[in-house]
Amino acid sequence: MAFVTRQFVRSVSSSSAASAAAKKIIVKHVTVIGGGLMGAGIAQVAAATGHMVVLVDQTEDILAKSRRGIEDSLRRVAKKKFAENPKAGDEFVEKTLSSISTSTDAAAVVHSSDLVVEAIVENLTVKNELFKRLDKFAAEHTIFASNTSSLQITSIANATTRQDRFGGLHFFNPVPVMKLVEVIKTPMTSQKTFESLVDFSKALGKHPVSCKDTPGFIVNRLLVPYLMEAIRLHERASAGDASKEDIDTAMKLGAGYPMGPFELLDYVGLDTTKFIVDGWHELDVKDPKFQPSPALNKLVAEKKFGKKTGEGFYKYK
C-alpha cells in the first residue's frame, strides 16, 4: 500500500510539474523587428537582462546607427550604475553589446526565437505583411508581440495562424528608463502566452499592467484625449481661455506633471498624435474625444512635428 501511495504521489507530482511547464514559455532568445528608438530600446533592456537578442531592420546603415545609439545609452546607464567602479561599467556595456546581433533578414533569424517583438511603422498593412511572412518561418512555440500604441492587436494577429500565441507588449519611450509595460491580451491570446509575456516584462525589470485589446490600451486612452483637450483649450484662446504656455505651466505646477501637454505633444510627435486620433475617429466618428483638431492638422500639414523637426507648438534650436 505504501508503495502504491508513493507511486501515486510521484505520478501526481510529475503531472503537476509537466502541467506547470506547459503553462509558460521561458523567453531566452528575442528577435526585435525595427531599429528605431523603441526597437533599439527594447533590444537594449532585453540584452542587459541576460537575453540573447537579434535586432532586425531593412539596412545595415540603420542597424549600425541603432547599435551606436544602444552603446551610447548603455554607457550612460553604466556611468550611473557603476559610478564607483568604471571597470565593471565597461564590462557591463561590453557584455550587453555581445548579446545583441543584427540582421536585415527577419525570416532567417526567427526560427530560433522564443519571442518576436515588432516595433515598426504604425501601419496595419505593413505589420500584417511582416507577421504573415514570419509566421511561416518561426517555430511553433514562438510568441509574436507588437509594440503598437494605437492599432488593435487582434487586427495584427489575424494575419497569422498563431492568434493564441500573439499579444501586445507596449513599452514607453525611453525604454531603458520607463518602467511600465502594457501587456495586451486579445480574446484569442492564450493564458500561457499572456503569462509568458508578463514574466518576460518582469525579467526586463519592468512593471507590467494588463489590459484587454481596447483602443489606446490604458495610458494612451487616457493621455491622448487629455492632450487633445489641451489643444482645443488653446484653439479657443481667442475667446479668452488660455495660451499654450499658461496651460503647460498650470499642469506642471498645479497637477505635478513633469511636462505640460504641449511640451509632451512636441516630444511624442504631432504626426504620431494625429495618426492615433485619426484612427480612433474612424472607429467612432461621434465620440467628441476623438474629433480632429484644426490646429494639429495644420502643423502636421506643414511638417512641423515637434522636437524631431525643430518646430511644433514650440520652436527648438
Positions marked catalytic: 149, 170, 182, 220
Burial 86-102 (b: 16+ CB within 10 A, else e): eeebeebbeebbebbbb
* Annotated binding residue 149: yes
Among candidates 201, 132, 141, 130, which has minimal Cα distance to 165? 141
* Annotated binding residue 80: yes
Q: How far apart are the first and last CA of the chain?
A: 83
* Annotated binding residue 213: no
* Annotated binding residue 57: yes
* Annotated binding residue 39: yes
* Annotated binding residue 91: no
Among candidates 274, 277, 303, which has minimal Cα distance to 290? 277
Pairing label, strands 115-118, 143-146: parallel
Q: What is the DSSP letter of 256?
A: -
Q: What is the DSSP letter of 13?
A: H
Q: What is the DSSP letter of 160?
A: S
Question: Can you tell me the distance from the alpha carbon of 82 to that of 79, in angstroms, rounded to the nearest whole number?
Answer: 6
Contact 48, 78 (CB under 8 A): no
* Annotated binding residue 38: yes
Contact 183, 169 (CB under 8 A): yes
Residue set of the binding site for CoA = 73, 80, 149
Residue set of the binding site for NAD(+) = 34-39, 57, 122, 127, 149, 173, 308
Residue set of the binding site = 34-39, 57, 73, 80, 122, 127, 149, 173, 308
